[in-house]
Amino acid sequence: MKFSAHRLDSVEPSPTLAITARAKELRAQGKDVIGFGAGEPDFDTP
């Protein structure tokens, strides 16, 4: 049984998350990857 709103069917996946996932796949294959997808700051926000 599907409980989500029909409008959710039109929501597309985030391109940023797709790029980040692809970079992770390539790293798992042993490739040297510099990821410029989703940022992960190591400092507090202002």
Question: In angstroms, rounded to a whole number, what is the distance separating the alpha carbons of residues 29 and 17?
Answer: 19
In contact, 35 and 23? CB cutoff 8 Å: yes
Q: What does pTM read for this prediction? A: 0.58
Question: In angstroms, rounded to a whole number, what is the distance separating the alpha carbons of residues 13 and 1?
Answer: 22
* pLDDT score for 3: 64
In contact, 20 and 33? CB cutoff 8 Å: no
* pLDDT score for 7: 82
Q: Is the pLDDT of residue 30 over 90?
A: yes
